[in-house]
Structure 1
Amino acid sequence: MDNKIRHSILKGMGKIVQIGMVLFVCSAVAVGQDRMATLEKNRVVYNGIPITQEVDESTVLNKIISISVHEVPLLETIKKIAVKANLEMVYNSKLLAEKDHSITTSLEQITVAEALWAVLAETSLRFAVSADKQLVLLEQKDANNSHQQIPAATQETVTGTVTDGQSRETLPGVNILVKGTTTGASTDTEGSFELSVPSLQDTLVVSFVGYQTQEVPISGRTEIDVVLQPQAIAGEELVVVGYGTQDRREVTGSISSISGEDVAARTSSVNVTTALQGLTSGVTVSDLGGAPGRSQAQIRIRGVTSLDDNNPLFIVDGVEQSYEDINQNDIESITVLKDASSTAIYGSRAANGVVLITTKRGQGESIQVDLNSSIDFQNLTFKPEHMATEEYLRQQNIAYQNAGDPPIYSEEDIQKYVSQSDPLNYPLPNDWYNIVPRDNAPMIKNSISISGGGEHLSTYASASHFDQQGLMPNTNAQRYQLRLNNDIYVTDYLSFTADLRIGRNDLFGTPRSTPGASGPMRLFDHATQFAVPRYPDGTYGLSPQNQNVLAEFDPDISGGIAERDYYTIGNISGTWDITNGLAFTSRVAVEAERFIREENYPTYQIRDYFNPDQVLRERQINSLTERRDETLKTTLYNTLDYSFGIDVHQFDFLAGYSQETFDYKRVDASGRNLYNNDLRDLSLTESETRDIGSTINDWGLRSFFSRLNYNYDQKYIFEVNLRYDGSSRFPEGSRYSFFPSGSLAWVLSEESFWEPWETTVDEFKIRASWGETGNQNVGLYTYFDDLNILSNTYVFNNNPVTGVAKNSVASTDLRWETTKQLNFGLDVSFLEGKYSVVIDWYRKNTEGILLELPISGAVGLNPAATNAGEVQNTGWEFQIEHRNQLSEVFYSVSFNLSDVRNKVLDLAGTGPYYSAEKNTLVRQVGTPIDALWGYKTDGLLTQEDIDQGYPTFSADGTAGDIKYVDTNNDGQITANDREVIGNTIPRFNFGVNLNLTWKNFDFNSQIQGVGKRDMMIFGAYAEAGSWAGFTPAAATDYWTPENTDARFPRPQKFALKNTEPSEWWIIDGSYIRVKNLQIGYNLPENITDKIGIRNVRAFIGGTNFFTITEMEDWGKDAETPTGRADRYPPAKTYTVGVNVKF
């Protein structure tokens, strides 16, 4: 680390210490005022008052209240409850001082008694209420954990166990209360309870933070087992936000929380990104491929923001790090930050949204071991149907005739192909989709975790192994991972975390097994079909074009690719609780990665089966390429948190400093003509053929950030987030930028005028926010001159000399891309939390998008990148969830729907900009990014059109060709007639999630889809009849003089006039898909108890079970983007697995 950086870090830390001192003084003043208020209010101190009168239950302990606190002292929390219950507090100051600790909880629509039980559960304190409405706090000296109203009348004893309805684990600390009294108990560490009740005809009220409260009639029983289901209202009372947590009721921005259980339930997902699909609104995840070891999932949060990078920021346990290979069973929760108020704390990296992943940590004193194992059987989601053999051969004859050539297949040939009387000489036109891919390719996932701890140390450790055999032959991927999360409690005010994740990823395949233009789908569609896959002796047959698709997946023919990726991620933090409400945290994280890739192309020969002496195809010289990548990323941040309350005013303040550095080095080396194919070593290649190259780059980011949250009586909430970022990616003059945001929330349900509806509508909150975020992913060193080294270009004194030439103009005025976002939201829950609704509307404009504006050709250089573009996204999101219990059936169902409209607002007077094959996609003002660009059509040409001189695309246009519209009326069909004809950005994304439990059975399912999207067909499907590639069964409906109302135009060999981008080839890209389905069974407790196991759950399920879409008729999986069928499709899987908890 150089002196400048060291000096900057020390200077920054000095600033934080100064801020801390100011906050400390403020804290002292606030605490002093609070203590004076306490002394004034509590003139009479309780030292033991006998209370013998009955309590007015209907107006005091059974009153329904809601309370939410975050890091608030126990005494202050009880005071808040007392105020809501119209009670005066009487207590022993010394006793409270001994028991005082911070409380963080959110209790909604519960009785006063239940609220008091919840906050006193971890203490020996109990409560009573006198006749004059005084709340008295007492210390319970008994060995058991029960509480009786004074005086008590013990008649019967009830025992039982409380378990979690999802995990089937016992729950310690659950509150059990006899309805209408203060008689109660709480469960022990084993989830068991014992309670004395006045009558066996009473009703028990069972409650626990984060779970639905249940009323259980005793009905004469003395042993009662209770199953609690997770609370409604979208889950947790605390949600993870940038650099901390917040009470859900205090959130003013647009965020979505996803539980680790929901992520782990997607057992067939190969990574975290695909597991998020369809779980929340505003997040579009497209599973673009199932290639083993290669994530092709694309995630977009609230649309496409930039013309370049649109990927969200992923933060894992507080720092940015690799996330795709995280073991799903290690995830505690995922939070998606969507609007500017919630993302602005991350400033320059948050324009595309932020995903926060929190991993599990050790809990409880007892050691718990979880084992998860599953096997998936993978298949292609679809196999397009090939045209029947006879129809195909006759169509080919017509295509040749339409091109002016004689038919290629005689009637005798057609019969031999159809009858297969001589299959070696007359092979069928191969449907490579049914020949090459493997059926039921296995994918095995195993993981084990150990969790536990004590007073000073809690640990979560896990190990996992992932083994995926690819759908294509000779392809597979493996992942090995170890995780260790430690929480160390040195004292009551000093703690540390020490996390470590190490892993290795292996991948093996062939050049043709990778996605893209040379990948399997492109090969299946475009390779010639007439080839014997293998002759009886194993020899590959070749088509007239010298092709055999099966051979392309043989590493001894096509070559092999082997990759290995090692990584180590360390994450250490320390927290010092300086005083009540004031804490300082420092975190250091290091991620080191080493990537190795080897690509070899062996020598081989394919000989003629009928004449073995003849070589039909060969590679005479072998070659080897190796690549080494080393990456080191470090993150340092310090934060100071201060939370305090004054009466009904709650303040939460955060200030921080962070610095990140990234160093990357890559070396490539290659050589040819090795001694043989087995000894793959670059030193064994011919020295004259060796080549070497390298790449080195680095960047850094330095940031200052803060957040202020003010909460007035849980009614009015105001939050400000500020971030000041400096990035080495920009020139010194524009290196730093400021990203502010502000948000407001009004909780109407806390107002007195809401009382008429409070029993129906539990929460009604409106939100508004505005803010700015940035995008620093603009490339490296663009503000420097780009120089090319020209070897041996110049000659001096008859000797070649290496020179240097300038390649492009430096972007000296480069600055940040900035996104400004406005958001309005509504959060509603009603009917005791059984229903919750979240609605958001937003508009975000991204300004300063980089463009290469044209310059004079006389300059002779490429133009500089300039901040000139602007894009707008306007959208809305809707999410509703319902949870309930009907007898022994617990269920939850959620539905989310979102839409976004994208528009390019400014390109600085330039454009349009075209991309993709045949300039199919366009970026121009007034249209969405990457809109479809092509010809409008008016059916197929008729002979009458030809006779009347209608303009055609080519000189040989004839009846049956596509009729392109002359939009500019210039009497000819040219590129000037092309217009925007479609939108490739998915709209109306939706998801439906259903969870059911009944006795020992559980069921979960997910339906996901897109309501509107335009897709354009390319390649073999549009060229049916023109070439020798795959010809779909749908192409049977082609134009002939007898079939003029056809779906496909007139086939013509070697002609592309009917394959131009046009409305003719646009299809409906919407789809609905059963994405996940799983049924599980938990072994009864009387069996697991005997074998000493907490729980055993077996399950079956799978993914991509069923899809409704037009796209599969055209050779595309429902989730692939516009273009040729180049994508490696996602797999359809069937799963069998088991979860065991020890």
Structure 2
Amino acid sequence: MKFSYRQHLLRATLFLLGVFPLSGFCQQIIKGQVTGPQDLPIPGVNIQIQGANRGTTSNFEGEYQLVARKQDTLVFTYMGYAPQKVAVDEQTQINIQLQENENSLGDLVINAGYYQVKDRERTGNIAKITAEEIELQPLVSPLQALQGRMAGVEISSGTDTPGAAPTIRIRGQNSLRTEGNYPLYIIDGVPINSTPVESNTSLSFAGIDPLSTMNLSNIENIEVLKDADATAIYGSRGANGVILISTKKGEGQKGIQARLYSGISTVPNKLDLLNTQQYLKVRRQAFNNDGVEPDEFNAYDLLLWDQTRETDWQEEFLGGTANITDVSISAQGGNDRTHFRLNGAFHQQGTIYPADLQYQKITGGAHLDHRSKDEKFQLGLAINYGVDQNELLGDGVDFNTNAFTLSPNAPALYLDDGSLNWEEWGEAGLNNPLEGIFNTSTTRTHNLITSLNLSYEIAKGLEVKTNFGFTDFNSDEVVKMPQRSYNPAGMPLHRSLNTQSQRQSWIIEPQLNYQHQWGKLNLNALVGSTLQENQYDTFSVQGENYVAEALIGNLGAAESLINGVARNTQYRYQAVFARLGLDWDQKYYLNLTGRRDGSSRFAQGNRFANFGAIGAAWIFTEASFFEENMEWLSFGKFRGSYGTTGSDQIPDYGYLDAYEATQGPGGLYPTALANPQYSWEVNKKGEIALQLGFLKDRISLGASAYRNRSSNQLVGYPLPATTGFNSVQANLAATVENRGWEVEFSSDNIRKGNFRWQTSFNISFPKNELIRYPGLEQSPYANTYREGHPLNIALLYEYTGIDPETGYYSVKDQNEDGVLNQEDQVVIQDRTREYFGGINNSLSYKGISLQFLVQFVKQEGSFTSLFNSGFPENQLQEFSSTSATDHQISQTPEASLAYSRVVESDLVIDDASFIRLKTLNLSYSLPADWISPLGINQAKFFMTGQNLWTLTDYRGIDPDTPIGGLAFSGLRTFTTGLQVNF
């Protein structure tokens, strides 16, 4: 199927290129430079051809180049400056000097999905970051580039492993189901399945990121749609927000751009653990306190292991250096009617762990845009293809835990010949901690995303448009488990686990757009429909007893194949949607959107649902009474929205009985119960906001207050074991609310001579609450949620201090029944963030530029590790001493039981707030007169840092993963590079 599709795609592309050739239309090439009031060049100025959806931007020296007709008019716009229009006529050199303007806020064009809108005119909440903030970050997933840069958007990597899917929440958690909180991803107009791909490797917890094969240097913008006005046009798919990723087009200056950077990554932090002598002292104290005589069984670290040996296991397991290399190249060109862009990139990243692991990614893409001579027909073709190979450990080896818990005098893990040391560890009755270390996993992913946009102007202001999209995602994973990974005493076999996954989808979206103006009234209308189909196939099987290690993974060489599982699901979706945008005198704006969705995940009678929203805005500084009375306020806008979106993020076929074949011949057994009654989850969103611009828009301030309520919750309702099933799909009469404040601020602090300093700031105050759940106490979630509290909570015992009789930790028996159980866990810990945000600064002087982002988070976490004093594992130094207020160092069963309870108490609550220097970029562009004789338009050296410094009181290794204390989500990275434009 996929090869046939690509052949047809190639033929269609060649046909289109034949019908609309790259040459033959002669127009003028316009060049020029854009400067400011002091004749300083202004980079990033938007130059558009009036009435056409094309243009370019000025480079670092303020220079630009584009193709235009004599009758065209160029429009120059830039934040903080008055727009200027210049007729082309016979000119080929147009230099412009922009002047500061009181009402230029919002000239930035925002992608709202099915349409575009200026920032000053939008009625919805849409956040945006550009290529300059994305392309130089040494990251694999583009979503990681959003951390700290957007209000209301939380990104958590959860792991340092490249290719792992990050967790993203846009204005909180709406659904009781984890899989019900994924936002909608759209790349160049094509929706992408945002659910992480299953894995049997160290990525098994996070899953494989479906965006990992994207080329960050090819991304033009990322917009995030948050409120009802922005998301309702996507209906059920926009319940958790929408992430729009736009790749770069071939507009602007022709030429070739090459970029190379290389660097290293290291672990961001180390914990202060006991050394050998401190550790042995604590262990001997435990035996002394317990009155127990050490022997080779209970005190192998004291009697069998070398008492002078000392290993820094943090350095051993986490002290490596991961090398990073990234190379990207792009070329763009064309003529007056057709322009193109080709790009390719290679990314390679090593590991900090003591294993031969590597991540590699190769990406390529093409973008073709064409306009007919009469400007009525337009074509846009985008192709993005990525291949990555991720070499990982098989699921089981935990370097992180071993790095912090192994005894510092533990014996060597390997023998001189490189094999695992089983004998010394076996003498202590233990398995080698690196059991499984020779297991390897190779995951190869292929991802094709294509889109074709066709439009034709039927009449003045009336346009018909159609979007076509196709995606093909393939993942092939082989986990090899050789005998030498396991204790030979267990007579292990050579084994493998092979998993293949494929996701294919196609979408067709015909649309009709109409625009007209009657005096002061401007109308924009849109009506369209969506037809979409997703196919998901997965197959896994285990091979056993290969005759040689070299054959592991070749299923034909396995003696037996077991646990074969194949799943095939199909999802179909259709919708009709409409938008009506009204603008009166560029002061009052009204935006009405609606959508009727149909999903194959519901039974007949429940398949269709209606969603819609209304958004309104008033630019009150356009009122006549503001023109003279408040000169210091250059822009002011009230806006608000209310509407509904829905969700069908549930497994396919849940309304049907499901069966699977038995292992033996001729049998079926039921695997799921039918429930045709459940219907759509509904999310009602409301928002009010204020946007202000001060001092000719040198200062901008925005504040939003929102409330979202998600009801009719779709869950897999747990069932008693006596039914024979784990759960059944159903609606719960539960309501989840997310409310909060978001504040965004930006300022042009200094603009003097060649020096410029700009600052942006965002902060969010989210609040998540389960406001209603009838019958919660009798439900299976009675020990998971509490009404009036967030979904992300921990139910804990109340810590009462050290028991004076035993010296052990103690917790309170709330009902005094002599039994400690879930009924006594009455302390509710809120694990949601109290507030979070970021401060970004950009400074430039001539060719020198410095940008840095500081991320901050206020939250509570937990620290549940490394204070179980007395047992044969390492701990933090702060827990090693004993006093009247400390617990008794002991390894009795009673002490162990007390510890297991106290780690579920409020004692482990820890302040996990932090301030982090998230990114830093320093660059220097060589002067134009140095490089122009070499045929180079721009040459820039740059240095980038990631996760450079963190200020926190959290006792764990990384406050960004604040549960437990032994995990970290990001490495400290330094890179240097060079970018050259020809």
Normalising by structure 2, we get a TM-score of: 0.85
Matches within 5 A, 1:47-58: none
- Counterpart in the other structure of 1:440: 321
Q: Deviations over 1:1086-1114 (max 9, x none)?
A: 21112221111111231111111223x33
| Separation (CA, whole Å) in 2 of partners of 1:479 and 1:580 | 46
Distance 1:271 1:688 in 2: 38
Contact 2:764 2:835 in 1 (8 A): yes
Three-state SS of the structure 2 residue aligned to 1:433 is helix
Structure 1 residues 760, 859: closer, same or farther in 2, change over 3 A? same
Distance in 2, matches of 1:855 and 1:602, equals: 40
CA distance in structure 2 between the partners assigned to 1:1006 and 1:859 by the alignment: 54
Instruction: Quote the Cα distance in structure 2 between the aligned partners of 1:508 and 1:811.
Output: 42
Distance across 2 between alignment mates of 1:890 and 1:718: 37
RMSD: 3.1
Does the 8 Å contact 2:854/2:915 carry over to 1?
yes
Cross-structure match for 2:650 = 778
Distance 1:913 1:277, change over 3 A: farther
Deviation at 1:1008, TM superposition (A): 0.4
Q: Choose from 836, 854, 878 the match for 1:1034.
A: 878
SS in structure 2 opposite 1:524? Answer: helix
Change (3 A) 1:851 1:536: closer
Which of residues 952, 958, 967 in structure 2 aligns to 1:1109?
Answer: 952
- 1:667/1:832 Cα in 2 relative to 1: closer, same or farther (>3 Å)? same
8 Å Cα contact 2:397/2:436 also seen in 1: no
Contact 2:185 2:243 in 1 (8 A): yes
The 3 A distance-change label for structure 1 pair 475 and 107 is closer
Question: CA–CA distance in 2 between the matches of 1:906 and 1:71?
Answer: 54
Distance 2:571 2:555 in 1: 34
What runs of 5+ residues in structure 1 fail to find an aligned partner? 2-67, 75-97, 125-142, 146-171, 177-205, 215-230, 418-423, 607-614, 793-800, 944-957
Instruction: Please state if 1:1023 is matched with 2:868.
Output: yes
- CA 1:1123–1:102 in 2, change beyond 3 Å: closer, same or farther? farther
User: Which residue number corresponds to residue 123 of structure 1?
Assistant: 88
Matched residue, 1:249: 120
Q: 2:484 aligns with which of 604, 621, 634?
A: 604
Alignment match, 2:170: 301
For residue 971 of structure 2, the aligned residue among 1127, 1131, 1140 is 1131
Q: Does 1:905 align with 2:771?
A: yes
Deviations 1:781-836 (A, max 9, x none): 110113354455xxxxxxxx754444543121111111101100011111111111
Q: How many residues align?
A: 889
Q: Distance in 1 between matches of 2:76 and 2:924?
A: 33
Amino acid at match of 1:876: W
State the one-letter code of the partner of 1:669: V
Q: Does structure 2 retain, via aligned residues, the 8 Å contact 1:287–1:296?
A: yes
SS at match of 2:120: helix
Cα distance, 1:439 vs structure 2: 2.7
1:622 aligns with 2:494: yes
> Does the alignment pair 1:315 with 2:186?
yes
Report deviation, 1:840: 0.2
Does 2:538 align with 1:666?
yes
Classify 1:716/1:314 alpha carbon distance in 2 versus 1 (closer, same or farther; 3 Å).
Answer: same
Counterparts in 2 of 1:743 and 1:388: CA distance versus 1, 3 Å: same
Q: Is the CA contact 2:72–2:88 (under 8 Å) kept in the aligned structure 1? A: no
Task: State how far apart, in whole Å, the 2-side matches of 1:1004 and 1:298 are.
Answer: 26
* 1:855-893 residue CA offsets vs partner (Å, 9 max, x unmatched): 788755555322112101111100100114133211111
Alpha-carbon distance in 2 for matches of 1:729, 1:753? 55
2:733 pairs with 1:875: no
2:672 paired with 1:751: no
1:490 aligns with 2:372: yes
Alignment CA distance shift 1:649-1:413 (3 Å): closer
Write out per-residue CA displacement over residues 633-665 of structure 1, whole angstroms, 9 at most, x where no aligned residue.
Answer: 111111111111111111111111111111122
Q: Give the match for residue 59 of structure 2.
A: none
Cα offset for 1:103?
Answer: 8.5
| Structure 2 equivalent of residue 327 of structure 1 | 215
Question: Matched residue of 1:268: which SS?
Answer: coil
Q: Call closer, same or farther: CA 1:400–1:774 in 2, change over 3 Å.
A: farther
Question: Is the alpha carbon distance of 1:891 and 1:913 closer, same or farther for their aligned partners in structure 2, counting shifts above 3 Å?
Answer: farther
The AA in structure 2 aligned to 1:1036 is S
Does the 8 A contact of 1:313 with 1:354 survive in 2?
Answer: yes
Question: 1:742 touches 1:770 (CA, 8 Å); kept in 2?
Answer: yes
Instruction: Provide closer, same or farther for how the CA distance between residues 519 and 773 of structure 1 changes in structure 2, counting only shifts above 3 A.
Output: farther
2:389 corresponds to 1:506:
yes
Q: Deviations over 1:312-333 (max 9, x none)?
A: 1111111113534321221111
Tell me the residue number matched to 2:940: 1097
1:446–1:534 distance in 2 versus 1, CA, 3 Å: same
Query: Given the alignment, which residue of 357, 360, 367 partners 2:248?
Result: 360
Aligned equivalents of 1:926 and 1:971: distance in 2? 29
Does residue 175 (structure 1) correspond to residue 16 (structure 2)? The answer is no
After TM superposition, give the deviation of residue 978 of structure 1 in Å.
0.8
Distance 1:644 1:232 in 2: 24
Counterpart of 1:1119, as a letter, is D
Matched, 1:836 2:704: no
Amino acid at match of 1:1009: F
**Cα 1:104–1:408 shift into 2, 3 Å:** farther
Instruction: Map 1:454-469 onto structure 2 (within 5 A).
Output: 454-469=335-350
Q: Distance in 2 between matches of 1:686 and 1:863?
A: 36
Q: 1:1035 deviation in Å?
A: 2.1
Q: Aligned partners of 1:720 and 1:445: how far apart in 2?
A: 45
Q: Is the 8 A contact 2:188 2:382 kept in 1?
A: no
Q: Deviations over 1:1-27 (max 9, x none)?
A: 9xxxxxxxxxxxxxxxxxxxxxxxxxx
Corresponding residue number in structure 2 for 1:976? 823
Q: Who is 1:1014 aligned against?
A: 860
Matched, 1:281 2:281: no
Please report how far the alpha carbon of residue 450 of structure 1 lies from its aligned counterpart in structure 2 after TM superposition: 0.9
Structure 2 alignment gaps of length 5 or more: 2-45, 53-68, 193-209
- Note if contact 1:73-1:100 (Cα within 8 Å) is conserved in structure 2: no
Alignment correspondent of 1:715: 587
CA offset digits 1:50-73 (Å, max 9, x no partner): xxxxxxxxxxxxxxxxxx999986
Give, in whole Å, the separation in 2 of the partners of 1:568 and 1:605: 36
CA–CA separation in structure 2 for the residues paired with 1:436 and 1:445:
26
Secondary structure at 2:621 match in 1: helix
Q: Assess, with a 3 A threshold, how the Cα gap between structure 1 residues 684 and 255 changes in structure 2: closer, same or farther.
A: closer
Amino acid at match of 1:282: G
Structure number with the bigger relative contact order (C-alpha 8 A, sep ≥ 6) is 2
CA offset at residue 443 of structure 1?
A: 1.1
SS across alignment from 2:181: coil
- Measure, in 1, the Cα distance between the counterparts of 2:418 and 2:527: 70
Encode CA deviations 1:471-517: one digit per residue, 9 max, x unaligned: 222111100010100001233111111111122110112215xxxx7
Alpha-carbon contact 2:542-2:564 (below 8 Å) kept = yes
Candidates 259, 262, 284, aligned match of 1:372: 259
| Pair 1:105–1:875, CA change in 2 (3 A) | farther
User: How far apart, in 2, do the equivalents of 1:263 and 1:104 lie?
Assistant: 27
Q: 1:534 to 1:213 in 2, by over 3 A?
A: farther
User: What is the SS of the residue equivalent to 2:182?
Assistant: coil
**Does 1:1072 pair with 2:938?**
no
Match of 1:887 in 2: 753
Note the C-alpha offset of 1:701.
0.9
Matched, 1:592 2:472: yes
In structure 2, the CA distance between the partners of 1:457 and 1:760, relative to structure 1 (3 Å rule), is same
Give how far 1:540 is off: 4.0
In 2, the alpha carbon distance for the partners of 1:683 and 1:299 equals 37
Q: Do the aligned residues in 1 keep the contact of 2:330 with 2:342 (CA within 8 Å)?
A: yes
Contact residue 214 and residue 386 of structure 2 kept, 8 A:
no
- The percent identity for this pair of structures is 23
Alignment of 1:920-931 (within 5 A): 922-931=784-793
SS of the residue corresponding to residue 392 of structure 1 reads helix
Amino acid at match of 2:166: A
Report the counterpart of residue 998 of structure 1 in structure 2: 845
Aligned CA distance change for structure 1 residues 463 and 808 (closer, same or farther; 3 Å): closer
Aligned residue in 2 for 1:769? 641
